Amino acid sequence: MSVRRREFLRLGAGATAAAIVGRPDGLAAQSKGKVRLAYLQLGWAATEIIHKEDLLGKRGWSAEYSVVAGAPGPLLNQLASKNVDAIDMSFALAAKAFEDGVPLRVTGVATAVLGAIVARKDAGLTRVEDLKGRKIAAIVGTSTFFDIRALTLKGYGIDLSKDTQIVTATAPPDMVTLLGRKEVDAIVAWQPITDSVVFRGEGVYLAKQIDLWRKATGRTSGFPVHVCYLVHHEFLLKHPAIARDLNEAQKDAVDIWYTKPERAMEIVSEVTRLPRDVVQVAHRETVRMLHGLPEEQVETLIAQLKINKEFGFLKSDVWDNPERIRREFFYQG
């Protein structure tokens, strides 16, 4: 989960500030009222498609879309202060914000886990077990590093914090630089950082987060989630239809992602400002774009929360009670 992943590639991201973008010209005010959906510029969740195709407007909302550059923290603050009504967000950070008292509900999912361990191409690493004693670059405060550390510990008995030499990076470009200079043997990162390194031929995938999840949990079905949709609880009480409409809009966006890839990549390139070749690789390597909140998915999410608490990222007792999670954290109306 990745507190700073959206800062990736100021190497081409080119974002400087939040950009508030209204609905396309010529669309009259809609009957369901106004909704303000904000999303991270490098969120990688297909929210860009909802925005550019105005998929909420097509469902009767007067939608205002905000593209926010940088880290997730300020976006969470915007939701907490009711400056926006709904956002995309790291699932782990959503849970952390919830236990810290932010009045939010998870209404749907957006994309499966995006993390990976990428080895330097000439480092001689072929298995996760080969990481012992090696130098690994990571941003240790991110949820992606925490998740991958927990999964390698649970699945392989390897503690990345103790059994390897962690080289602490302060931002995603630092990891890319360290690997390129051969100062580390591997990085723990996420899309599209990982894809850009592999695309340039500097690294190879050693293990993707989805495979670590399968190994650690024994679950062969369902997808652990990286990004989900959050709606402020007060707005949800007044406008419960937003949960269904946002999930249906995401479903349409996912359909475009898979059936009209050229259009999807055009939109993603426009919003993220990433090079088209990086977007193409990241599009191909994305584990799974998701939508909705079916019960099977909820069970997988509850398992994620359990692991996050087991290894210390989450603290609240609410995560020990699946029924409380369903009732208080999720919204399946």
* Whole-number pLDDT of residue 7: 44
Cβ partners under 8 Å of residue 254, min gap 6: 46, 289, 290, 291
Residue type, 262: E
* Whole-number pLDDT of residue 5: 44
Give the position of tokens 């886990």: 113
Q: Would you list the DSSP string of 260-299?
A: -HHHHHHHHHHHH---HHHHHHHHHH---B--S--HHHHH
Residue 223: CB atoms within 10 A of its CB come to 20
Domains of the chain: 5-113+223-329 (3.40.190.10), 115-217 (3.40.190.10)
Q: In a structure prediction context, what are the per-residue pLDDT tens digits for the chain, which is 333 residues long?
A: 444 444 443 434 444 344 444 444 444 444 899 999 999 998 899 999 999 999 999 999 999 999 998 778 899 999 999 999 999 999 999 999 999 999 999 999 999 999 999 999 999 999 999 999 999 999 887 888 989 999 999 999 999 999 999 999 987 788 999 999 999 999 999 888 888 898 888 999 999 999 999 999 998 888 999 999 999 999 999 999 999 999 999 999 999 999 999 999 999 999 999 889 889 988 998 999 999 999 999 999 999 999 999 988 899 999 999 999 999 999 987
| Residue 95: φ, ψ to 5° | -65, -40
* Whole-number pLDDT of residue 16: 36
Q: Nearest CA to 53 among 27, 85, 14?
A: 27
* Whole-number pLDDT of residue 285: 87
Q: Are 118 and 148 in contact (CB under 8 A)?
A: no
Residue 17: CB atoms within 10 A of its CB come to 9
Torsion of CA 122, 127, 133, 136, to 10 degrees: 60
What is this structure's pTM? 0.84
What are the CA-CA distances from residue 164 to residues 159, 185, 303 (Å)? 8, 10, 27
What's the CA gap between 220 and 246, in Å, rounded?
Answer: 28
DSSP bridge partners of 205: 118
Q: Nearest CA to 176 among 207, 205, 203?
A: 203
